Amino acid sequence: MNLALRDIRHNLGRFLLTCVGLSLLLGVVMSMIGIYRGLVAEALTIARAPAIDLWVVEADTRGPFAEASRIPGDTREAVARIYGVLAAGRSTISQSR
């Protein structure tokens, strides 16, 4: 312990610079974790808010939140006729670019 204290006293500038660097690194890591958790929470809120049990999208698309999907009206009617489906409708999600 005495050796560590003597080293800190001898190289105080290096010790303080190391502390500042580690503090900045920790701050960046915590910020990234917070941003990631916020993005996940927002994405889940957007997907769960309409309370839709099943999404039907056009083939070869990335889903209703990534790009536009055009489903013919007769497909919506066919989904509505499936046993257990209480209601079928269409949803328009605006995408800001």
SS (H, E, C) 31-83: HHHHHHHHHHHHHHHHHHCCCCCCCCCCCCCCCCCCCCCCCCHHHHHHHHCCC
Structure tokens at 73: 């009206």
Domain locations in the chain? 1-49, 51-91
Per-residue pLDDT at 57 exceeds 90: no
What are 78-91's pLDDT values in tens digits? 888 889 888 887 77
What are 12-50's pLDDT values in tens digits? 999 999 999 999 999 999 999 999 999 999 888 887 887
Give dist(CA 59, CA 71) in Å, integer: 9
Per-residue pLDDT at 96 exceeds 60: no
Q: Tell me, what's the pLDDT at 2?
A: 86
Give the confidence band of 70 by pLDDT, cuts at 50, 70, 90. Answer: confident
SS3 19: helix
Per-residue pLDDT at 95 exceeds 70: no
Structure tokens at 67: 């790009």
- Torsion angle, CA of 47/48/49/52, rounded to 10 degrees? 90
